[in-house]
Amino acid sequence: MTEDPTVPIQDIAPPPQGPDEVLHVVEDQADAIFTWDYAKGARPGLDRLYEKAKTSQWNARTDLDWSIEVDQEAVVAANAVANDRGRVDLSGTRLERWDDATWTRFGIESQNWMLSQFLHGEQGALVCTAKIVETVPWIDAKYYAATQVMDEARHVEVFATYLHEKLSGAYPVNPHLGALLDDIVRDSRWDMTYLGMQIMVEGLALAAFGFMHQLTTEPLLKQLLRYVMSDEARHVAFGVLSLKELYAELGESELRERQEFAYEAAVRMRDRLVQQEVWERMGVPLDEAMTVVARTPDQKIFQQMLFAKIVPNCRKLGLLDANGGWLRDRFAELGVAEFEHLPDTGEEYEMFALAGAETTPA
């Protein structure tokens, strides 16, 4: 990977980024693989997932109620109450002097930034999964991945539409998120694309979408996230079911590479995605911003909660136990090892299905 995850974000310059970049090229260095073994259902778990995906398609244009008007200031005010902003110690920082209008602007910029990164992450999933269609050797996995490509196109469409029609400005891809997506798509080993995208990025996204779905009072976003989550749970299951088979055959040194890859991705997602562009726009130096973030009571809990899906899924893949429990020890250092005993996502996707599931999955 190109970034050292152990260096604090305040100490690293963002990777160079062309502000006017429209097209971004990454060499994906992988072999496209044909298989002449068309025996459908040779991998029953993947076959079930594929059949489920075919009957779970929805239409971004017609299934969501795009007539709902979004009052972004009201949304920000409701979030501020839910977040209990008054509890954060701002002394010694310039946020101490912010008036209500500045806080509202900050809330709006934060939301624009967050939804923009969701959008760019969805495009990352679209590109990675299209690559998996080419690179995975199993026909059941090619079939399933093809349905995920359609799902991700729909997710890009809904987030782009929401951002451009309902919010008040879009941000370019965060340079650290962009670098992570580049690394995941660039790797020549087909399972690394799965591990980086389906297990790590989509595992984190599933937790983050669930958190936002519970928090938000905005009905269109709530509906949108519910639909997206029903698909994302299948995507994470796809990663778990595929890699479980492959990793059972790998030796310790090959597993160690996967453990390190997973750990570095985890640290980068936890420590680097700190909306630095929003702080810059608000005129707050990054070190001062990080001071405020560190004092925010729920910050640590929120960061840890993002691993609620990743850790049990890594356990299911054997990545916690390999090499004397190396990855379990690293997750313990991050304070997230206790998630290991939560249900993994290999079968959990049925709970997220839209039909008959009006309650929110955990």
Q: Which residues bind Fe ion (CB under 5 A)?
A: 122, 125, 152, 155, 202, 232, 235
Q: Which is nearer to Fe ion, 155 or 328 (CB)?
A: 155
Q: What is the DSSP letter of 361?
A: P
Least distance in Å: CB of 310 to Fe ion?
14
Number of Cβ atoms within 10 Å of the Cβ of 122? 24
Closest CA to 107 of 75, 70, 68, 71: 75
> Quick one: three-class SS letters along 13-29?
CCCCCCCCCCCCCCCCC
Q: Are 207 and 233 in contact (CB under 8 A)?
A: no
Q: Which is nearer to Fe ion, 120 or 235 (CB)?
A: 235
Least distance in Å: CB of 339 to Fe ion?
20
Least distance in Å: CB of 205 to Fe ion?
7
Q: Which is nearer to Fe ion, 235 or 316 (CB)?
A: 235
For residue 36, give every residue at least 6 positions away whose Cβ sits within 8 Å of its Cβ, in sequence order, or none: none
205-219 burial by CB neighbour count: b if 16+ within 10 A, else e? bbbbbbebbeebebe
Q: Which is nearer to Fe ion, 224 or 319 (CB)?
A: 224
Least distance in Å: CB of 300 to Fe ion?
27
Q: Burial, 295: exposed, middle or buried (Cβ in 10 Å; 0-12, 13-18, 19+)? A: middle
d(C-alpha 204, C-alpha 314), whole Å: 12
Q: Which is nearer to Fe ion, 166 or 235 (CB)?
A: 235
Least distance in Å: CB of 232 to Fe ion?
5
Least distance in Å: CB of 208 to Fe ion?
12
Q: Which is nearer to Fe ion, 187 or 232 (CB)?
A: 232
Q: Are 60 and 161 in contact (CB under 8 A)?
A: yes
d(C-alpha 306, C-alpha 311), whole Å: 10
Q: Which is nearer to Fe ion, 150 or 267 (CB)?
A: 150
Least distance in Å: CB of 126 to Fe ion?
8
